[in-house]
Amino acid sequence: MVCGEVRLISKDGDFLGLDISRPWYVVPVSQASMQLRVAFQGEPGAYSQQALSSLFTHASPVPLPSIHKVFEMVEIGSVDYGVVPLENSQAGSINETYDLLVRHGVRIVAEKIVRISHCLLGLPGASVRAVKVVFSHPQALAQCEEFLDSMQAERVAVHDTAGAARIVSEEQKGGSAAIASEEAAALYGLDVLARAIEDRPDNSTKFVVIGREETEIFGEPTKTSIVLSTANVPGALFSCLKEFADRGMNLTKLESRPSREKAWQSHFYLDFEAPASDPAAVAALEALSTSTSFLRVLGSYPST
């Protein structure tokens, strides 16, 4: 399959994205034809591993201690893909993931929205009333704020929900509990003291698969994510957004994050409903490349 790409350059000529000067080839590869190594942040039983299992039918999961390490291992080729959280329906964007997408030479190749139902886990025989300390990832603690307020227990943030379950299991302290999945309870020998403790019944997290190259093993791309920076002048962002509006393209996300390169400068993250190879998208991106100080395609992939 031969596809056109878009050359995206900065004002100083740095290569920032896809290149239309040469054709590129996508070679579909069946997941079943090879044993992929796929990294995720957390310990066995983490929600990221659940997302990984739903995305890959044949893969060897590789647990890693941080999201940054997942990006690093994918970029250097130690693993084939990585699965990282991008956004929660309640707590919002995972800022670290967005920052790392700019800093590393990887692409988003797929996304998966996973329903997140949190449980309060304790040692066998424990009760909710006896819990004095609750361990979990900061996002999980934020997603269960109302339940935790009713308990009046101390909250301790740790690196991972499954890691919190392991800590409670290993320390064997009667007043300790963890917020994690029911799968983590079974894995670490804990009791489920309470189920569905998240504040919103539709609580869900969007995970993305990152890889080094474009791929179609997840299907044809229907969505594209980009990041850009503009000059600090009136109407600069409006002019960028107008390129999409003029072509009838729907934006599904617009969010700003501080740039790590320069103080008080922002990156704008945008998602639009079209593959990067769509003629309207090609035209919009080419127009943006002349009106932005920084522009990069983060990935073009199937939308869930």
The catalytic residue positions are 205, 207
End-to-end CA distance of the chain: 23
Polymer length of the chain: 304
Residue with tokens 């960028």: 240
Measured CA to CA, the distance from residue 207 to residue 86 in angstroms comes to: 5
CA distance to 83, 113, 142, 200, 262, per residue, from 66 (Å): 11, 20, 19, 26, 25
Query: Residue 105 and residue 96: Cα distance in Å, rounded?
Result: 15
Give the dihedral of Cα atoms 218, 7, 273, 85; nearest 10 deg.
60
- Residues in Cβ contact with 26 at an 8 Å cutoff, skipping those fewer than 6 apart: 1, 3, 214, 215, 216
Task: Indicate the SS3 state at residue 172.
Answer: coil
How many whole angstroms from its chain centre is CA 10?
Answer: 26
**52, 83 in Cβ contact below 8 A?**
yes
CA distance 260 to 191: 43
Q: Tell me if 110 sits within 8 A of 99, measured CB to CB.
A: no
